[in-house]
C-alpha cells in the first residue's frame, strides 16, 4: 500500500493544490493535522480534505479553533486562529471539532499523530527521532515541526512529511511524502507553488505581514 502523507497545510490552498497535482498515484491519502492557521484559506483547505474524505488528525491550531482557545505570546498564530474562527461555517467547524488525536490504518501498521505520540504539543525534531517513538505500528507519521525528515529502524520507520503550507526547513517549496507500507520506504517530495500569490492573500486578509514574509524563505 502506498500512502500519500501531508501535514501542516495551515490554510495555504495554493500549496495544497500544488501538492495534490504533483502527488503520484497512491492508495490512500492521510493528513497529520494543522489544516487551519496562519494563511488565508482555512475554509477552502478544510473543504478539500473533507470532500475527499481524507483521514486527518487534529493539530494544535485545529484544536485552538475547535475549543475556542488561542495562543498567547505568538501574534502570527493568534491572528491565524482568529481568522479561521471567523471564516469557517458550521459544517467546516464541526469537521474540525471531530478530528481525533490519532488514527491507525492497515490493521495497525500505520499510526498518524500531529506531534509526539505520547506528549501532546511536543515538537519532535529530526535529532529526536528514535525507535522509542514507535509502538506496535510499523510506521509512525507525525508533523508539527514543519521540518521534513524520516528515519528507518529495525523496528519500523518514523516520518515527518514536512509542511505543505509553511515549511520551516529553509526550503520554501511545499513538502509532502509518499510512504510504501510494503517495504517501509519513504520518498520525500517537494513542489514549487506561487508563494507571492499566497503572500498577497495573507496581506489582503489583514493577517500579520511576517506570516507572508516567512513563506519565501521557508523559515
CATH number of the domain that residue 122 is part of: 3.60.21.10
pLDDT in tens, 167-201: 999 999 999 999 999 999 999 999 999 999 999 99
* Alpha-carbon gap, residue 94 to 82, rounded angstroms: 16
Residue 3, beta-bridge partner list:
28, 179
pLDDT at position 74 is: 82
**Based on the structure, what is the number of domains in the chain?**
1
* Alpha-carbon gap, residue 88 to 92, rounded angstroms: 6
Candidates 69, 66, 68, 31; CA nearest to 48 is 31
Supply 65's cell numbers.
479553533
Q: How many CB atoms lie within 10 A of CB 21?
A: 9
pLDDT in tens, 135-169: 999 999 999 999 999 999 999 999 999 999 999 99
pLDDT at position 48 is: 98
**Entry pTM:** 0.96
Domain that holds residue 61: 2-216
Supply 84's cell numbers.
479561521
Candidates 16, 105, 13, 9; CA nearest to 59 is 9
H or E element that contains 160: strand 156-160
Candidates 63, 66, 52; CA nearest to 23 is 52
**Percent of all residues in the chain with a pLDDT value above 90, rounded to a whole number:** 96
Q: Within the chain, where are the H helices?
A: 13-22, 42-51, 60-67, 75-87, 90-97, 195-204, 209-213
Amino acid at each position: 500500500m502506498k500512502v500519500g502523507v501531508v501535514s501542516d497545510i495551515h490554510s495555504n490552498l495554493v500549496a495544497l493544490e500544488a501538492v495534490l497535482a504533483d502527488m503520484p498515484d497512491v492508495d490512500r491519502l492521510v493528513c497529520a493535522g494543522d489544516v487551519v492557521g496562519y494563511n488565508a484559506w482555512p475554509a477552502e483547505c478544510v473543504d478539500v480534505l473533507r470532500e475527499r474524505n481524507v483521514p486527518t488528525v487534529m493539530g494544535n491550531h485545529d484544536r485552538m479553533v475547535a475549543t475556542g482557545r488561542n495562543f498567547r505570546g505568538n501574534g502570527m498564530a493568534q491572528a491565524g486562529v482568529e481568522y479561521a474562527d471567523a471564516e469557517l461555517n458550521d459544517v467546516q467547524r464541526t469537521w474540525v471539532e471531530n478530528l481525533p488525536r490519532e488514527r491507525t490504518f492497515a490493521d495497525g501498521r500505520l499510526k498518524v499523530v500531529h506531534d509526539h505520540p505520547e506528549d501532546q504539543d511536543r515538537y519532535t525534531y529530526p535529532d529526536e527521532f528514535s525507535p522509542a517513538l514507535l509502538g506496535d505500528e510499523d510506521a509512525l507519521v507525525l508533523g508539527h515541526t514543519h521540518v521534513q525528515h524520516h528515519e528507518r529502524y529495525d523496528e519500523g520507520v518514523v516520518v515527518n512529511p514536512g509542511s505543505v503550507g509553511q515549511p520551516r526547513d529553509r526550503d520554501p517549496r511545499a513538502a509532502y511524502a509518499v510512504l510504501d507500507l510494503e517495504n517501509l520506504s519513504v520518498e520525500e517530495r517537494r513542489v514549487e507553488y506561487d508563494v507571492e500569490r499566497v503572500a498577497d492573500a495573507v496581506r489582503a486578509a489583514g493577517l500579520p505581514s511576517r506570516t507572508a514574509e516567512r513563506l519565501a524563505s521557508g523559515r
